[in-house]
Amino acid sequence: MAQRVRKAIFPVGGLGTRFLPATKAMPKEMLPIVDKPLIQYAVEEAAAAGIEEFIFVTGRNKHAIEDHFDRSFELEANLEQRGQGELLAAIRDCVPSDTRLAYTRQGQALGLGHAVWCARGLVGDEPFAVLLADDLIQSETPCLKQMIEAHAPLGGNLVATMEVARAHTPNYGVIAPGATRDRLIEVKGLVEKPKPDLAPSNLAVIGRYILQPEVFSHLDRQQVGAGGEIQLTDALASLIGAQPFYALRFAGRRFDCGSKIGFLEANLAFALERADLGTEFRRLLRQYADAGAR
């Protein structure tokens, strides 16, 4: 059995340029899907997968995330006074206990690989998870839980994957697949942002990873890759052959909330699922669809 995965890194240091001006003064991971910030969905997913330590790699606008996961005594007192118990529980429940949270700073947004490297001291010498909050996954079993269960008998490294249209491979890290068993695919190679005709498959890496600490030795070199950024994919590629490396075709639906369309679609999908909003929202959608058809 593999060593238990206890720690998760949440890189939230990106510039979020696709969402400017919304992200001018706050990280894009604080954008809400219905009424919950993206980062909270990711933290809840990690907690449901048994993660015990939550490590945030923050950038220039770090305060919003720290404040979000901090107790807010004034707000709590206010809600209590007004008898708004449900809201009170909602804001209390979103906070894992202080002892389980750690923050570190990425001085400059040099890329995802660099953000992960910034957390090396907090991770130490054990396997860890990485969750990109802007990849939001709607699923019966939380995606990271599916991954931890698949990883337990295998050890090594495991990334989440899904099929994408070939034309979209330049937006992703792409897998060169080996043997496949059910949802598990052996990873023989990884290429960051390949052109469609050069992509080894249409299996894209999605923002969920279980990694071995050896990845930090490669990231130590601070090698610049595609787009002039220090890429996590390049460091992962260096582990292939040296350690077991698999991809899991997870069960669920992923929304790319780093893009406007993906973000809007996620709001749609999550709002439709809500008991308190679904009916009214569906009625509104019909109204808009009818108006569009006219």
Binding residues vs ligand UTP (CB under 6 A): 11-18, 28, 57, 106, 109-112, 114-115, 132-134, 258
For ligand UTP, which is the closer residue by CB, 57 or 248? 57
For ligand UTP, which is the closer residue by CB, 53 or 76? 53
Question: What residue is closest to ligand UTP based on CB?
Answer: 14
Query: Residue 155 forms beta bridges with which residues?
Result: none
**Across the chain, how many H-helices and E-strands are there?**
11, 13
| Least distance in angstroms from the C-beta of 269 to ligand UTP | 20
32: left (phi over 0), alpha (psi -120 to 50) or beta: beta
What is the per-residue DSSP string for 129-185?
Answer: EEE-TTEEEE-SS-HHHHHHHHHTTT-SEEEEEEE--GGGGGGSEEEEEEEEETTEE
| Least distance in angstroms from the C-beta of 229 to ligand UTP | 7
For ligand UTP, which is the closer residue by CB, 132 or 236? 132
For ligand UTP, which is the closer residue by CB, 55 or 79? 55
- CA-to-CA distance for 194 and 157, rounded, in angstroms? 22
- CA-to-CA distance for 46 and 271, rounded, in angstroms? 22
Nearest Cα residue to 184 out of 236, 247, 253: 247
| Least distance in angstroms from the C-beta of 40 to ligand UTP | 14
| Least distance in angstroms from the C-beta of 118 to ligand UTP | 8
For ligand UTP, which is the closer residue by CB, 115 or 199? 115
| Least distance in angstroms from the C-beta of 14 to ligand UTP | 2
